[in-house]
Amino acid sequence: MVFGIDTPTLSPNPIIVCSVVMANEVLLQISSKLKDYRKSKGITIQQLADRAQVSKGLISQIENNRTIPSLLVLINLIRSLGVDLNDFFADVEQASEAKVLVKRSSEYQSFEKEQSKGFLYKRIMTRTIQNLPTDIVILELAPKATRAFMVKTNAYEYKYIISGEVEYIVGDQKYTLSAGDSIFFDANLPHKPVNVGNTTASMLVMYFFKE
């Protein structure tokens, strides 16, 4: 959810709201679409922030799946981009009530965060489990890949190293992890990974977003 911001009073299209189940898992899924539309229109984060009257930092957090926007804030941003709501939500995957879900590797959705070189994210699925929005992804790190900066996410994070060797910096501590190792931490602490090996490192990542 979005913290520390007053959401505007809007009258969203009732057809949209009724036809798209706005579960947190759907909101997570479409945050990256917001970035794609913004870039395709040549609009900077600051310009969108000015139009929507929200902070630049909030938009960056939403676009990079660092926080979950409220529905009103999301609709405000979409309208500020001049995008038709029906077009925006047309190919959004509906929240599923199925008891068993199977996702083939060909169905994983690639996306980016903070334009970090050597980082490849593939979303397996998003689910709300016991009212807790959960995002499950595969992260592949190219040899020696890292970020030039630390990030924070409004979530708890679990990482399981599938292959390679990764150094995770969390706060002022460093943890070296090899295949089969895992780490769990409060992602409101500044953190970043470093692939310290000479081969691509792969890990399963689970984000448990806070309400």
Task: For domain 14-89, say whether CATH 1.10.260.40 is its number.
Answer: yes
Q: How large is the average pLDDT for residues 198-205?
A: 97
Report residue 18's pLDDT band, with 50, 70 and 90 as the boundaries. Answer: very low
Residue ranges of domains in the chain: 14-89, 105-209
Q: Domain 105-209 class?
A: mainly beta
CA distance 81 to 157: 31
Least confident of 65-79, 90-104, 165-179: 90-104
Q: Which of 70-79, 161-170, 187-196 has the lowest average pLDDT?
A: 70-79
What does the alpha-carbon distance between residue 110 and residue 26 come to, in Å, rounded to a whole number? Answer: 16
- H/E stretch holding 193: strand 191-195
pLDDT at 150: 94
**Would strands 132-141 and 119-129 be described as parallel, antiparallel, or unpaired?**
antiparallel
**Is residue 26 pLDDT above 70, yes or no?**
no
Q: Are 145 and 116 in contact (CB under 8 A)?
A: yes
pLDDT band at 98 (very low <50, low <70, confident <90, very high): confident
CA pair distance 52, 26, nearest whole angstrom: 21
Query: What pLDDT does 65 receive?
Result: 80
Sorted by sequence, the CB contacts under 8 Å of residue 202 that are 6+ apart come out as: 138, 139, 140, 141, 161, 162, 163, 164
pTM of the complete model beyond 0.85: no
* Per-residue pLDDT tens digits for 36-45: 888 888 999 8
Tell me what pLDDT residue 22 has. 47
Q: Report the distance separating Cα 165 and Cα 43, nearest Å.
A: 38
